[in-house]
């Protein structure tokens, strides 16, 4: 039962079960600051060997036992001391849509949302948990004009809502993992909310975040520190490695190290050019999607996206920052989830290197503190 005497926990672990690795971050709240207590990452079992395995994608069912073992090992290795945990759910396991509803009375909203959910969610509503939030309201007055603020008694209101649906099966899996690890699961949230918390906080500007991971890439527009648009693509680091391996006739392991060593910075001749061209085919699909999303947001709201934050392990692709700068003509910033976290300064070089991969775990840990 909620009580006014209920205190927020002092320490919490954020857990991000990614396709290529699991990340954990333990933070402590002290005097309105977050303090980094411990962190760690463990490569997912056989990730590179399983690049062609479709089971690696959508359902992690078969991997559940491995995941439990890995998180257990990681928590032990990092010396995590609390059982309080927040876990993040990947964008590719859920359905997220931001929709503008036609003008209506506020009391009509719940029914309209069920209708919208049926339209946007490709599986039966009985199989998903739905969450929604109004992100913008505009009153439509009798003359048809628009004004922001509270709706009058009879006034119609235009709502922009974010709808999030997570399959009950996915939630059950996370609950089983937490139970097996004897964790006190304080919350489960979509990973976009975790990285918005660690990367944007209360910054009111219009920002786009790119989480360029291993299995999927998510794009999020955040404005006035709240999610306004969200989208994801099934093109990410794994796809780049697979394309290099197939295109150059090499195995996944070599393709992975070529990708990391040369990236888009490779020279203009022979094999290096081939590598760069293969990577660019995929990177430019992401750029195109980014352009579309930014353009659509700007046209709809007349607000200008001022910067792009580059997050996720593939965000570390050599030459990506310069390429995006040239193509998008935007300020590009590499994700830094440690910006509001007190940490030992001797850890700074390593934390800087890890930063783009830890935005989700750090943001999850911040949620309940
Ligand atoms: N220096 C680098 N250059 C290019 N790619 C890199 C580099 N370092 C890591 N990666 C890629 O980043 C990906 C891992 O990133 P991340 O840890 O964000 O993914 P994940 O969270 O496991 O995956 P997902 O979120 O898609 O489930 C891998 O595909 C890896 O190849
Ligand atoms: Mg990830």
Q: What is the CATH number of the domain that holds 149?
A: 3.30.1490.300
216-263 pLDDT per residue, tens: 999 999 999 899 988 899 999 999 999 999 999 999 999 999 999 989
Among protein residues, the one with the nearest Cα to ligand 1's atom 11 is 314
- Work out which ligand 1 atom sits closest to the CA atom of 360: 21
For a mutational test of ligand 1's pocket, the pick from 237, 245, 286, i.e. the residue with the most ligand atoms closer than 8 A to its C-beta, is: 237
* Any domain includes 245: yes
Whether residues 233 and 150 fall in one domain: no
Which range, of 148-152, 305-309, 323-327, 349-353, averages the lowest pLDDT? 148-152
Of residues 173, 341, 168, the one with CA closest to residue 358: 341
Give the Å distance between the CA of 316 and the centre of ligand 2. Answer: 13
Phi and psi dihedrals of 325, rounded to 5? -60, -45
167-192 pLDDT per residue, tens: 999 999 999 999 999 999 999 999 99
Whether residues 304 and 224 fall in one domain: yes
Residue that is written with structure tokens 């991969």 in the block: 357
Sign of CA dihedral 168, 173, 174, 178: positive
Question: Measured between alpha carbons, how far is 220 from 196 in angstroms, rounded to an integer?
Answer: 9
* Any domain includes 77: no
Q: Which is higher by pLDDT, 300 or 155?
A: 300
Whether residues 210 and 293 fall in one domain: yes
* Any domain includes 344: no
Whether residues 308 and 246 fall in one domain: yes
State the CATH number of the domain containing residue 256.
3.30.420.40
Ligand 1: residues whose CB is within 6 Å? 18-21, 90, 213-216, 236-238, 241, 256, 259-260, 263, 312-314, 316-317, 357
314-325 pLDDT per residue, tens: 999 999 999 999
Whether residues 210 and 325 fall in one domain: yes
pLDDT confidence band for 211 (50 / 70 / 90): very high
Question: Measured between alpha carbons, how far is 135 from 300 in angstroms, rounded to an integer?
Answer: 14
Give the Å distance between the CA of 78 and the centre of ligand 1. Answer: 21
350-367 pLDDT per residue, tens: 999 999 999 999 999 999
Whether residues 115 and 219 fall in one domain: no
Give the Å distance between the CA of 318 and the centre of ligand 1. Answer: 13
Give the Å distance between the CA of 47 and the centre of ligand 1. Answer: 11
Q: Nearest ligand to the C-alpha of residue 357? A: 1
- Work out which ligand 1 atom sits closest to the CA atom of 22: 22
Among protein residues, the one with the nearest Cα to ligand 1's atom 6 is 314
- Work out which ligand 1 atom sits closest to the CA atom of 238: 29
* Any domain includes 60: no
251-302 pLDDT per residue, tens: 999 999 999 998 998 666 677 788 899 999 999 999 999 999 999 999 988 9
What is residue 56's predicted lDDT score, i.e. its pLDDT? Answer: 47
* Any domain includes 100: yes
Give the Å distance between the CA of 228 and the centre of ligand 2. Answer: 20
- Please give the residue range of the domain that contains residue 100: 95-166
- Work out which ligand 1 atom sits closest to the CA atom of 212: 18
Q: How many helices (H) and strands (E) does the chain have?
A: 10, 15
pLDDT over threshold 70, residue 146 = no
For a mutational test of ligand 1's pocket, the pick from 15, 18, 20, i.e. the residue with the most ligand atoms closer than 8 A to its C-beta, is: 20
- Work out which ligand 1 atom sits closest to the CA atom of 312: 18
What is residue 356's predicted lDDT score, i.e. its pLDDT? Answer: 95
Averaged pLDDT, 14-26 = 95
For residues 40 and 24, is the Cβ–Cβ distance under 8 A? yes
> Which helix or strand (DSSP H or E) is residue 337 part of?
none
Whether residues 142 and 245 fall in one domain: no
Q: Nearest ligand to the C-alpha of residue 240? A: 1
Entry pTM: 0.91
- Count of domains forming the chain: 2
Of residues 194, 191, 196, 189, the one with CA closest to residue 222: 196
Residues of the chain with pLDDT > 90, as a percent, come to 67
In what order do the strands lie in the sheet containing 95-100? 95-100, 156-167, 128-140, 146-148
Give the Å distance between the CA of 142 and the centre of ligand 2. Answer: 47
Whether residues 218 and 326 fall in one domain: yes
pLDDT confidence band for 58 (50 / 70 / 90): very low
Averaged pLDDT, 61-84 = 90
Mean pLDDT of the chain: 88
Contacts of 296 (CB under 8 A, 6+ apart): 229
* Any domain includes 213: yes
Give the Å distance between the CA of 359 and the centre of ligand 2. Answer: 9
For a mutational test of ligand 1's pocket, the pick from 214, 275, 283, 319, i.e. the residue with the most ligand atoms closer than 8 A to its C-beta, is: 214
- Work out which ligand 1 atom sits closest to the CA atom of 237: 29
Whether residues 159 and 209 fall in one domain: no
104-119 pLDDT per residue, tens: 988 899 899 988 888 8
* Any domain includes 186: no
């Amino acid at each position: 039962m909620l009580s006014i005497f209920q205190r927020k926990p002092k320490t919490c672990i954020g857990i991000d079960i990614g396709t290529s690795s699991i990340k954990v971050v333990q933070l402590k709240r002290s005097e309105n600051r977050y303090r980094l207590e411990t962190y760690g990452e463990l490569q997912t079992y056989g990730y590179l060997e399983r690049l062609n395995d479709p089971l690696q994608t959508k359902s992690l069912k078969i991997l559940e036992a491995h995941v439990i073992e890995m998180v257990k090992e990681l928590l032990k290795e990092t010396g995590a001391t609390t059982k309080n945990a927040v876990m993040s759910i990947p964008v590719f396991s859920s359905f997220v849509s931001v929709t503008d509803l036609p003008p209506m009375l506020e009391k009509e909203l719940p029914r309209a949302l069920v209708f919208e959910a049926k339209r946007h969610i490709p599986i039966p509503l009985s199989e998903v948990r739905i969450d929604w939030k109004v992100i913008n309201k505009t009153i439509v007055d009798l003359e048809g004009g628009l004004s922001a603020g509270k709706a009058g008694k009879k006034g119609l209101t235009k709502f922009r809502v974010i709808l999030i649906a997570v399959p009950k099966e996915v939630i059950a899996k996370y609950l089983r993992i937490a139970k097996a690890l004897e964790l006190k699961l304080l919350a489960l949230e979509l990973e976009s909310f975790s990285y918005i918390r660690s990367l944007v906080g209360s910054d009111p500007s219009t920002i786009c975040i790119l989480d360029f991971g291993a299995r999927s890439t998510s794009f999020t527009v955040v404005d006035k520190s709240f999610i306004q648009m969200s989208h994801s693509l099934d093109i990410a680091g794994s796809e780049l490695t697979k394309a290099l391996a197939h295109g150059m006739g090499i195995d996944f392991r070599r393709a992975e190290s070529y990708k990391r060593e040369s990236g888009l910075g490779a020279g203009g001749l022979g094999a290096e050019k081939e590598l760069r061209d293969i990577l660019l085919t995929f990177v430019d699909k992401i750029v195109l999607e980014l352009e579309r999303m930014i353009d659509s947001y700007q046209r709809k709201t007349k607000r200008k996206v001022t910067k792009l934050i580059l997050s996720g392990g593939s965000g570390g692709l050599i030459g990506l920052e310069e390429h995006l700068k040239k193509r998008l003509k935007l300020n590009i910033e590499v994700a830094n989830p440690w910006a509001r976290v007190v940490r030992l300064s001797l850890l700074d070089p390593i934390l800087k290197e890890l930063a783009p991969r830890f935005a989700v775990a750090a943001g999850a840990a911040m949620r309940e503190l």
